[in-house]
Amino acid sequence: MKSPIKALTLTVSALAAIGLLASCSNGANPGGGESADGQVELSVVSLIPGTEQAAFDAFNNQVKQFEKANPDIKIKPVEYEWKADTFPALLAGGTLPIVYTIPFTDGQTLIENGQIADITEEVKALPFYDKFNKNVLSAGTDDKGHIFAVPREAYGNGLQYNRDLFTQAGLDPDKPPTTWDEVRAAAKTISEKTGAAGYMQMTQGATGGWQTTVATYAHGGRMEEIKGDKVTATLDTDATKKSLQFLKDLRWEDNSMGSNFLYDWGTINKAFASGQIGMFTGGSDLYTALIRENQMDPAHYGITTLPLEGKDGAVLGGGTLSVVNGKASEAQKKAAVKWINFYYLQKYLDKDAAITDAKTLAAANQAVGTPALPIFDKATLDESREWIKDYINVPQDQVAPFTSKIFDQPLVIEPTKSTQDIYGILSPVVQAVLTDKNADIDALLKQANADAQAVLDRG
Amino acid sequence: MRTPEPRAGRGDGPSIPAVTPRYSLVQEGTAATMTTLTKPAPTKRRRARNPRTWLRGGGLSNLLFAAPMIIIFGLFSFYPIIRAFVMSFQKTNLIADPQWVGLLNFQRVLEDPVFWVALQNTGWFALLALIFGYPIPLIAAVLMSEVRRARGLYSVLAYLPVVIPPVVAVLLWKFFYDAGPNGVFNTMLGWVGLGPFPWIQDATMAMPSIVLEATWAAAGGTIIIYLAALTGVAPELYDAAEIDGAGIWRKIWHVTLPQLRGVLLITLILQIIGTAQVFLEPFLFTDGGPANSTVTLLQLIYRYGFQNSLGGNYGSATALSVMLALFLALLSFVYFRLTSGWSKN
């Protein structure tokens, strides 16, 4: 070390490196607590990354409005989009903001893992608490009645179909199938006439089990039975067998499922949007993703209700929950529920809020008016739809087969115990049925049920 | 033809022969410095070891220079390793305080039926990769070293797949592997009346298909290593073998392979360690499907930690990681113990 200048440069650069690292680890710390002047700092998710500036401006206006009404709360918006591949990393890394949103499918697992905060008191204090659709609210409630999440929007699973492929195959896109036999017949026709897979189902990761649960519910079955503290896995009922037999028939007898069988949520959307798949089951909120991410021609999109069978036939519901980070302080929890009420719920209850929200979505090129289920009652939903009718950009006549009938279908939420594990156990079964001609459905389900029971027993 | 060179005679069986020119340079270099250093008596060196001379000898600036690496390695390598080891004995959701659970995580992994499937699959992958992936680069390298003209071109072609980012390569092959009659490979095979094959859409074909891509992707790097090693084989050995009447196969068997054995040993253990940790290909191609036929150990770790249970199962994930790491460390140790005699001749 000959010259002092060199030494200085070295020291400075070493310090800079250390400082850089230190600031990195600071950044990983989710939104502080209370600041010196008693203000609660609340980090919340804002809009998805890449949204246009106009939408951000609208969002920031809402933030200002909220802060004006609640001078003790300081909002810190964070761009966010829930994605299956990035969310677990955000969760494990502890970098999620205080208020964020998750799909229904994750609710029970996060509650079991203790990763989201109990907000029972705050939610029950909301003046419109009694108006909540209890069925939908239960997606974010544990078995002791504690509330951990507030529904933001709800949907039912439906039968997605490509109207263009229907037309090409000589089928009437305005008269989609209403029974599973009709679905099978339509799939065969589409397959023969167009070369596309007539019918397909998600099979990978947890999605295979998730959509098998959708089919099982539609056939009148359930995945688990809860009596007191005892949870029994019921993966091997006739309803599940029927729904797998349906796939087996389409695959091996009719050959109407194409040749590729490994799909998850993202890839099946892509294949469907590009006309490789005629029909598949999925949430009624898919429109946004199909149009925005997969560039599907809106004119090709169609959705109808699932055929329900048996006296317990039901639709598996889904949707988005807004939750409060498990790391939140008491003050932050209170502020968080205030924000959830203001930003996510008022649009169903207040005309101005509804219009602001619709405007923001429309400006962000997001879909307005996707078929939804009421998180309060149907009259409230209808009224809020009426307020925003000028901004609706989803072709309503194409979703009419779904919206005209969904309210007559009973809605049931997902299995509440070890949801993701049970889905994960079922996915290989679906894959086996689709890729192995000699797959023994009964034996596979028996084994899956035993595996699921083992998971449930260890709690 | 057989003009004695200064290097002649080294071919008679020196220990760990100079396998690559670069390697040999380093060896010769260190040998030279060693001799110059050892001459002025070792006592002088020992006396030099005290804090003040360390300081005066630039110890501080050495440390300063090393600091960024030490900090970065510590933060991003050693710290996570230690954390993972600790977490394998804990139940944690990364929010509440972790609880010590002893060996429960390890027990859970061993009780998981998918673990045994994954173990089998990883073994199967390693075996297939060994059968296809190990000899092919060697054969290619031997053939390429025989080529007199445009050798550079062949090297570039062989190395090209390594340049393609692995994820891109897999997604590309996934597209090629489309199981429909219009898939790229199926169309090509259709010209000669074969197929259509289900490729990755079938439990028996999925793993070989994945190995095929992995071999294609990794061969280039190994070929380059072998090519370099081959240039280190003294040409007079071949000349001698030729005079003794050896044909091409005997030359390869008696000269090339023994001369390469040091490198062969290294690439073998590297390949075994690599295949035991295979993740990317099955993850992107099939996500372990169809019906768990391609789930590997590392993928199972990922599933425990991040996928199905939304990160609820960090304990099992770290427990399996620790087991895998211990197994590989043990394997490497035993392997080098067993083969040390061999490589030293």
Ordered DSSP codes for A66-112: HHHH-TTEEEEEE-----TTTHHHHHHHT---SEEEEEHHHHHHHHH
Of A1, A88, A454, the CB nearest to B310: A88
Has residue B2 been placed in a domain?
Answer: no
Average pLDDT of chain B to the nearest whole number: 80
Q: Given this model, what pLDDT does residue A294 score?
A: 87
How many CB atoms sit inside 10 A of residue A3's CB? 8
Cross-chain residue pair B291–A431, CB shorter than 8 Å: yes
Q: Give me A88's structure tokens.
A: 């677990």
| Same-domain status, A436 and A452 | yes
Q: Given this model, what pLDDT does residue B313 score?
A: 81
Is pLDDT above 80 for B190?
yes
Calculate what percentage of chain A has a pLDDT beyond 90: 57
* A103 at B interface, C-beta within 8 A: no
Find, in chain A, the residue whose alpha carbon is nearest to that of B72.
A21
Interface predicted TM-score (ipTM) of this complex, two decimals:
0.77
Mean pLDDT of the region B127-137:
88
Is pLDDT above 90 for B274?
no
CA–CA min distance B292, chain A (Å)? 6
Mean pLDDT of the region B290-308:
87
Q: What is the pLDDT of residues A159-178, one digit of tens each?
A: 999 999 999 999 999 999 99
Q: What is the pLDDT of residues A58-84, one digit of tens each?
A: 888 889 989 999 999 999 999 998 877
Band of residue B332 on the pLDDT scale cut at 50, 70, 90 = confident
Cross-chain residue pair B68–A258, CB shorter than 8 Å: no
Q: What is the pLDDT of residues A270-290, one digit of tens each?
A: 999 999 999 999 999 899 889
CA–CA min distance B97, chain A (Å)? 11
Q: Given this model, what pLDDT does residue A99 score?
A: 95
* A266 at B interface, C-beta within 8 A: no
Mean pLDDT of the region A255-280:
94
The CATH number covering residue A336 comes to 3.40.190.10
Mean pLDDT of the region A354-363:
85
Length of chain A in terms of residues written: 459
Top residue of A98, A148, A327, A431 to mutate, by most chain B CBs within 10 Å, is: A431
Is pLDDT above 90 for A123?
yes
* A458 at B interface, C-beta within 8 A: yes
Q: Given this model, what pLDDT does residue B45 score?
A: 52
Average pLDDT of chain A to the nearest whole number: 87
Has residue B29 been placed in a domain?
Answer: no
Which of A391, A415, A434 is the last residue in one of the domains?
A: A391
Domains contained in chain A, number = 2
Q: What is the pLDDT of residues A199-224, one digit of tens each?
A: 999 999 889 999 999 999 999 999 99
Is pLDDT above 50 for A1?
no
Is pLDDT above 60 for B34?
no
Band of residue B149 on the pLDDT scale cut at 50, 70, 90 = confident
Gap between the Cα atoms of A223 and A217, Å rounded: 8
Is pLDDT above 60 for A24?
no
Domains contained in chain B, number = 2
| Same-domain status, A312 and A322 | no
Gap between the Cα atoms of A295 and A308, Å rounded: 31
Residue A303 host element (H or E): strand A301-304
Classify strands A411-412 and A315-324 as parallel, antiparallel or unpaired. Answer: parallel
Q: Given this model, what pLDDT does residue B19 score?
A: 36
| Same-domain status, A198 and A288 | yes
Classify strands A149-162 and A277-283 as parallel, antiparallel or unpaired. Answer: antiparallel
Cross-chain residue pair A327–B95, CB shorter than 8 Å: yes
Gap between the Cα atoms of A101 and A80, Å rounded: 9
| Same-domain status, B54 and B150 | no
Gap between the Cα atoms of B345 and B342, Å rounded: 5
* A434 at B interface, C-beta within 8 A: yes
User: Can you give the residue range of the structural domain that contains B50?
Assistant: 35-87
* B181 at A interface, C-beta within 8 A: yes
* B314 at A interface, C-beta within 8 A: yes
Higher pLDDT, residue A164 or A153: A164
Q: Given this model, what pLDDT does residue B85 score?
A: 92
Band of residue A27 on the pLDDT scale cut at 50, 70, 90 = very low
User: Can you give the residue range of the structural domain that contains A184?
Assistant: 156-317+395-458
Has residue A83 been placed in a domain?
Answer: yes
| Same-domain status, B112 and B58 | no
| Same-domain status, A219 and A165 | yes
Residue numbers in B near A423 (CB within 8 A): 308
Has residue A13 been placed in a domain?
Answer: no
Has residue A25 been placed in a domain?
Answer: no
Of A94, A259, A458, the CB nearest to B198: A259
| Same-domain status, B51 and B119 | no
Calculate what percentage of chain B has a pLDDT beyond 90: 29
Q: Given this model, what pLDDT does residue B188 score?
A: 92
| Same-domain status, A271 and A161 | yes
Has residue A337 been placed in a domain?
Answer: yes
Band of residue A307 on the pLDDT scale cut at 50, 70, 90 = very high
| Same-domain status, A289 and A422 | yes
Has residue B248 been placed in a domain?
Answer: yes
Which of A351, A373, A391 is the last residue in one of the domains?
A: A391
Listed ranges A436-440, B1-5, B137-141; the one with the highest mean pLDDT: A436-440
CA–CA min distance A450, chain B (Å)? 11
